Chain A
Amino acid sequence: MSQPRNSYAVGTGLFIVLGFAALAYLATQTTSVANVHQGASYTVDAHFANIGQLKERAPVKIAGVRIGQVQSITLEPGREVADVKLAIDTHYDKIPQDSVASIYTSGLLGDQYIGIRYGSSKKTVADGGTLVLTQPAQQLEEMLGKFFGAGGVADNLGGTYTVKANFTNVGALSVGAPVKMAGVPIGSVQSVIADPVKLDAEVTLAIDKRYNAIPDDSAAAVFTSGLIGTQYVAIQPGGSPDALKDGDEMVLTQSAMQLEDLIGKFLVNGSSGDKKDAGNGKPSESPAPAGKH
């Protein structure tokens, strides 16, 4: 009687201890608690013109090493400036006053954090001090714009000539999107308008004059850079001896693939879909398949 009763109690006690051990493990080893430094810290102000997606408790790093976290984010009264208070571990009290605080993103889709690059000043920031030099968050849109936008190569060049191309579907192609040949930008999209008679999209491409030997039977296709990138017009050179001239129209076009279709094909077909994609990637020799959407 008392023997089995006690063994139940012991076993149950073990079970409870195991449960709480698991809870402690989950709570301390796999959560952001693991990142919170318990030690003493001092507070430094930094003003940012734009904090992007920065959140409270986001890490503060030097050379990629975590030295503290964002304590609070408030809007400076009356100014379009965000006042960010950083709680920095007292171990790291030798930060020069002219250090630059920037808001970075960990990876393309990751959370944002504050990175501090050391300045050269002999003076260090003390508790309650301010980091004057800051660099605001880079907006993804601006970055992408810089990367893909018309501002790239085409902007720096002298004159352009325009060519028209008709697509049954331009997808999300917008004005300013790059025109590429062999992956290199050679111009940009000048206008995208719907043709009232043919009922398709008439796209005007502004192409750098340097590239004036493009065969007039070249194909224009609307491609997407990467899975989540912007769309652009790719020109695949044909074999005709005559070159495109200003005001010409490109006859061979391939419309935009819808992302949904792409993902659908990709996920459903798996690896066997690769072959089909490769086939579609080649320019169609007639506009007819392009119109299937």
Chain B
Amino acid sequence: MNPRAPQGNNVVTQSLAQIGNCGLFLLTLLAAIPRSFRYVRETIRQLWFVGAMSLTIIMVCGLFVGMVLMLQLYHVLSIFGGTSASGMVVALSVYRELGPVVTALLFAGRAGTSITAEIGLMRATDQIDAMEMMAVDPIAYVATPRFLAGLIAMPLLCCVFCAMAIFGGHLIGVSWLGIDNGTFWSNMTAVVEVHTDIVNGVLFKSLAFGAVVSLIAVYQGFTTPPTSEGVAYATTRTVVASSIAILALDFVLTAFLM
């Protein structure tokens, strides 16, 4: 039925085949980028759906991650009398790891699944075929704009997440636990570096995660059997595969960048 379906008979060959197909699909997506320039409006529309619509969950989660992180750090660091460093530790851990990773996981759950479900339903209801018949390239019109939107949205969402986490940390640390405001900021600014923490940590990682999550989401949507059961499985697979890919990639990137 599905020409891209992996033909292996065990988990390893199937996973490898999936990864290989996913890579080939990425090439198709990238090759379609020039053709998708005429659908800039569609990319903007998708940016609205995957980016702006994810803003609420990202902001709320960022706030709470910052708050709980500060609370935990304060109690651990107070053992060593180092509570003044907690703002710094919040900033570093959010920029380097938690920000990109948690944002990407939330993004996979919020935007990735909706991309997969939407494309899967478009296939199930022949909308993709209808586009083919209307001489509109579905890769350029459906897949690439969503991929690009995910690519653009992730770093922006990650920045918002980090800012909210810092704000949450500040809220708990300074307003509640009574860390000095000046100490909070000066310790943070003394340690956080633009290149290693903001560029490599926040921006580069989130860009890579955005690419991986949107690739997986679009790929799953396009290759799922066009039935309602297939769409349901595909959304699940998007979350599972994205989460594994995010964490594995995070390790690789951390090992190479830091």
Contact = CB atoms under 8 A, between A and B. Distances in A.
Interface of A: 5, 8-9, 11-12, 14-16, 18-20, 22-23, 25-27, 29-35, 109, 111, 227, 266
A34 B193 CA distance: 10
Nearest to B88: A30
A35 to B, nearest CB: 5
Contacts of B198: 23, 26-27, 31
28 contacts: A5-B41, A8-B45, A9-B44, A11-B52, A12-B48, A12-B52, A15-B55, A15-B156, A18-B160, A19-B155, A19-B159, A20-B156, A22-B163, A23-B156, A23-B159, A23-B202, A26-B95, A26-B159, A26-B162, A27-B198, A29-B185, A30-B189, A31-B189, A31-B194, A31-B197, A34-B189, A111-B190, A227-B80
Nearest to B95: A26
Given A11-B52, A18-B55, A27 B156 contact: no
Given A22-B163, A32-B193, A8 B188 contact: no
Nearest to A266: B79
B157 interface: yes
Contacts of B216: none
Given A22-B159, A26-B202, A31-B198, A12 B190 contact: no
A24 B59 CA distance: 17
A145 B44 CA distance: 65
B47 interface: yes
Nearest to A58: B190
B52 A31 contact: no
8 nearest A-B residue pairs (beta carbon): A19-B156, A15-B52, A22-B159, A22-B163, A23-B159, A31-B192, A34-B189, A12-B48
Nearest to A5: B41
B41 A22 contact: no
Contacts of B156: 15-16, 18-20, 22-23
A222 B191 CA distance: 37
A16 B188 CA distance: 26
What size tier do the contact residues of chain B reach?
Answer: 35 or more
Contacts of B155: 19, 23
A250 to B, nearest CB: 33
A15 B47 contact: yes
Secondary structure at chain B's binding surface: helix, strand, loop or mixed?
helix
A15 B55 CA distance: 8
Nearest to A263: B79
Interface of B: 41, 44-45, 47-48, 51-52, 55, 79-80, 82, 91, 95, 152-153, 155-157, 159-160, 162-163, 166, 185, 188-194, 197-198, 202-203
Given A16-B47, A31-B198, A266-B79, 9 more contacts: A5-B45, A16-B51, A19-B160, A22-B159, A26-B95, A26-B159, A29-B185, A31-B193, A32-B190
**Most interface-central of A11, A15, A32 (chain B CB within 10 A):** A15
A9 B51 CA distance: 12
Nearest to A33: B194
Nearest to A27: B198
Nearest to A31: B192
Contacts of B188: 30
Contacts of B55: 15, 18
Contact of A30 (B80, B152, B157, B166): B166
Contacts of B194: 27, 31-33
Contacts of B189: 29-32, 34-35
**Most interface-central of B51, B80, B188, B194 (chain A CB within 10 A):** B194
**Most interface-central of A12, A16, A18, A35 (chain B CB within 10 A):** A12
Contacts of A19: 51, 155-157, 159-160
A22 B160 contact: yes
A130 to B, nearest CB: 27
B149 to A, nearest CB: 9
Given A22-B162, A32-B192, A8 B157 contact: no
A20 B41 CA distance: 21
A26 B166 contact: yes
Nearest to B198: A27
B63 to A, nearest CB: 13
A6 to B, nearest CB: 10
A26 B91 CA distance: 9
B47 A12 contact: yes
Nearest to A16: B156
Contacts of B95: 26
A34 to B, nearest CB: 4
A110 to B, nearest CB: 8
Contacts of B163: 22, 25-26
